[in-house]
Structure 1
Amino acid sequence: MAETADLAGAAHLVLVDGVSYLDPAPAVFEAMLEGWTKQQRARFLKWDGTIKPRLSLVRRFAEFSNLYPWQWQPAEFEAFMDHLQSRTPTFTVSSGRNYQNHLRMFCEYITDPRYGWMAVCQQRFGEVPVQILHEWNTVTHVSAYEGDPRRRPLTYDEIQALFDAADGRVEQIRKRGRKGALTAMRDSALLKAYYAYGLRRRENVGLDLADLRRNPKAAQYKRYGALFIRWGKSSKGSPPKRRTVFTVPEMDWIVDVIDHYLTEVRPRFGVGTHPAIWVTERSGRLSRRSANEAFEAAREAADLPEELDLHCLRHSYITHLVEFDYPERFVQDQAGHGYASTTAIYTGVSDEYRNRLLHTKLGQRFPGIWEDPK
């Protein structure tokens, strides 16, 4: 067995030497969780988005099984997953995979000899923790996309209906003589920016005025030729990834939208020198929750399916770039994806585009014979 090392989260660095606990089992369990927390913090993983949910899941599983980690067996885990599926109709395959991965990582941590937990458990309880998740009791990964199949790119008509509804809310509020017209104008521009640049929630609400960029190759767009994204999706403890998203000709209507918002709407919020592009009535930065609510209000007004959410605008952008015949690498870079396979997951090209592509290929294959119908 490998010797215990002075790694972040090692048992001998968490447990107090020479202390005899009145109830050692819960004390050791809490020490395990504390050690796992330190091990993850050492890897620069985020507390709210990563570490905290993982700890909560381990506690939840321990409570369900009524056993401590050194007593766990595969049967307890299988019963736990069955319980989740039977009690939660909306429990998805992707959620189940996340739960399995998190519990597997915890078991890997406490069964790694370098951290010393196996020796501690053997000495104190006469039992050692084991890995309880294996390929025969976990979800087999056979599909690149495991999300809700109802989540999809919007059609061009649905995009137009959504934007018309967002604009319509402004007039409705004005006619009723109620407050909120200014907020509705902001929300309309906000939703259009999500689609026109294919942004994630945080990326858009995190934009500052200083992130507006000129594109020397498209001087006609002035300072709206590109957006510098500073809050891209991070991974494996890395800081947020950065990229530049260019304004494409098919979406250049967004130039007038953002210019009107910045010159006519935003100043009326009275934000002074606040750096954010998207601001609130209280002169603060707009939250991701408020962005979600803006989409939901417009979706309801447009009578679109409830399963569509704000992220569908990003799906739509990527799909439509493909239909505009942009190269795969360009679409990947615009979206900020590390791998082309990720971009492919987002793509749902229309039948019209595929038929157009098919006709083009047939015309190339049979010149002078096949005529592309207009």
Structure 2
Amino acid sequence: MPPLAFEDLVERYLRHLAIERGRAINTITAYRRDLRVYLDFVQARGIHGLDEVTPADVSAFSQSLRERADAPLSASSTARMLSSVRGLHRFCLEEGLTQTDAAADTKPPKQPSRLPKAITVEQVESILNAAAGDDVVSLRDRALLELLYATGARVSEAVTLNVDDVIAGDDGDGDAVRLFGKGGKQRVVPLGSYARSAIDAYLVRGRPVLSARGRATPGLFLGVRGARLSRQNAWLVIRARAEQAGMTVDVSPHTLRHSFATHLLEGGADVRVVQELLGHASVSTTQLYTLVTADTLRDMYTSAHPRAR
């Protein structure tokens, strides 16, 4: 049996990621894009089969990413792309599709420790209050913002919510939301009273008006034409309300998620609990937030203790 073409190996690897590893569509799309760049690079070097690739070729590819004249990649982007390349080579070796793994010894560049950005409780409240109107768009925006801060949901998780994913408890006790994270993993996160109240107001006075403007959809958050709210429009909602609140710092879709985690830890929550609420696969990811709170404690200690300095 002749060896599979380079492109066929890539597609086989991507199917493995999608079907057997349960990777999300966005992840598959990113891997395909990264591996297209890799294929173009090695084919330009006269290589047309994965078994022909040498460790020197992979190293040259890594170096080319950081030295591109048009747009050199950052350390984090280079590491992500090399992860795609290493995964392809490892998969093909394990499946017996190639004889060697040319990327086995390739190390990603060291990345600086990037701490999550969080805003204060008062700043969060100012953004929430910017959507305090009683019109349908304000009702929706307030419900969306309250849910993001109350649950730490990713914006992609919020816009894929259906109405039935909001779980009612007894007399408001036990209210929760069912979130579907990376790889389709499900988790149930409690809803606070403020978020539940905002969602109820939106469901009663806002969503029916928006829903009547479009085709029937089970989506929780709807756009002005009645379709499910997109990630891009949810981002614009957050940005617009932050500007309306007079925020002088950039507020991204992840800001409320970061603030959710940081404020929980500052309030004494266990890091393992926060890990479950955020849907992190590894506690090491969640522990980044403990560095933020440790910095806050250190600043408070330095300014308050009489013999700190």
Common topology (TM > 0.5) = yes
- Mapped to 1, the partners of 2:200 and 2:31 lie a distance apart of 43
Larger Cα Rg: Structure 1 or Structure 2? 1
> 85, 98, 103: which one pairs with 1:103?
85
Give the 3-state SS of the residue equivalent to 2:188 in structure 1: strand
What is the CA-CA distance between 1:60 and the residue it aligns to?
1.6
- Mapped to 1, the partners of 2:7 and 2:296 lie a distance apart of 58
- Mapped to 1, the partners of 2:136 and 2:51 lie a distance apart of 58
What is the CA-CA distance between 1:351 and the residue it aligns to?
5.9
The answer to whether 1:287 aligns with 2:241 is: no
> 16, 34, 49: which one pairs with 1:57?
34
Identical-residue share of aligned pairs (%): 25
Contact 1:205 1:287 in 2 (8 A): yes
- Mapped to 2, the partners of 1:93 and 1:207 lie a distance apart of 34
Superimposed CA distance per residue, residues 95-130 of structure 1 (whole angstroms, 9 cap, x where no aligned partner): 222211211122223444x53444xxxxxxxxxxx4
What is the CA-CA distance between 1:352 and the residue it aligns to?
5.8
Contact 2:167 2:178 in 1 (8 A): no
Summarize the alignment of residues 147-166 of structure 1 with structure 2, pairs less than 5 Å apart: 147=114, 149=115, 151-166=116-131
Greater mean deviation of Cα atoms: 97-106 or 42-51:
42-51
Where does structure 1 lack aligned partners over 5 or more consecutive residues? 1-11, 17-26, 119-129, 172-180, 235-239, 363-369
The answer to whether 1:132 aligns with 2:102 is: yes
Give the 3-state SS of the residue equivalent to 1:229 in structure 2: strand
Summarize the Cα distance change of 1:156–1:131 in structure 2 as closer, same or farther, 3 Å threshold.
same
Aligned to 2:256: 313
TM-score by length of 2: 0.78
Aligned to 1:3: none
Superimposed CA distance per residue, residues 201-235 of structure 1 (whole angstroms, 9 cap, x where no aligned partner): 2222222222222345xx3x36xx4223241222x
What is the CA-CA distance between 1:58 and the residue it aligns to?
2.7
Contact 1:93 1:146 in 2 (8 A): no
What is the CA-CA distance between 1:146 and the residue it aligns to?
5.1
Aligned to 2:63: 82
Superimposed CA distance per residue, residues 152-173 of structure 1 (whole angstroms, 9 cap, x where no aligned partner): 1112232233234444xx69xx
> 191, 203, 206: which one pairs with 1:247?
191
Summarize the alignment of residues 115-194 of structure 1 with structure 2, pairs less than 5 Å apart: 115-118=96-99, 130-135=100-105, 137-139=106-108, 147=114, 149=115, 151-167=116-132, 182-194=136-148
Summarize the Cα distance change of 1:325–1:39 in structure 2 as closer, same or farther, 3 Å threshold.
closer
> 204, 226, 230: which one pairs with 2:158?
204
Give the 3-state SS of the residue equivalent to 2:124 in structure 1: helix
Where does structure 2 lack aligned partners over 5 or more consecutive residues? none
Which amino acid counterpart does residue 247 of structure 1 have in structure 2?
Answer: L
What is the CA-CA distance between 1:138 and the residue it aligns to?
1.8
- Mapped to 1, the partners of 2:280 and 2:96 lie a distance apart of 35
Contact 1:202 1:231 in 2 (8 A): no
- Mapped to 1, the partners of 2:30 and 2:280 lie a distance apart of 25
- Mapped to 2, the partners of 1:193 and 1:340 lie a distance apart of 23
TM-score by length of 1: 0.66
Summarize the Cα distance change of 1:328–1:58 in structure 2 as closer, same or farther, 3 Å threshold.
closer
Give the 3-state SS of the residue equivalent to 2:227 in structure 1: coil
What is the CA-CA distance between 1:28 and the residue it aligns to?
2.7
Contact 1:94 1:146 in 2 (8 A): no
Summarize the Cα distance change of 1:336–1:117 in structure 2 as closer, same or farther, 3 Å threshold.
closer
> 200, 209, 218: which one pairs with 1:268?
209
| Aligned alpha-carbon RMSD (Å) | 3.5
Superimposed CA distance per residue, residues 283-309 of structure 1 (whole angstroms, 9 cap, x where no aligned partner): 222122211121122233334333x41
Give the 3-state SS of the residue equivalent to 2:5 in structure 1: helix
Give the 3-state SS of the residue equivalent to 2:200 in structure 1: helix
Summarize the Cα distance change of 1:185–1:115 in structure 2 as closer, same or farther, 3 Å threshold.
same
Contact 1:212 1:228 in 2 (8 A): yes
What is the CA-CA distance between 1:140 and the residue it aligns to?
5.8
> 237, 258, 283: which one pairs with 2:199?
258
What is the CA-CA distance between 1:318 and the residue it aligns to?
0.9
Superimposed CA distance per residue, residues 12-58 of structure 1 (whole angstroms, 9 cap, x where no aligned partner): 4xx69xxxxxxxxxx83333334434544551544733444333323
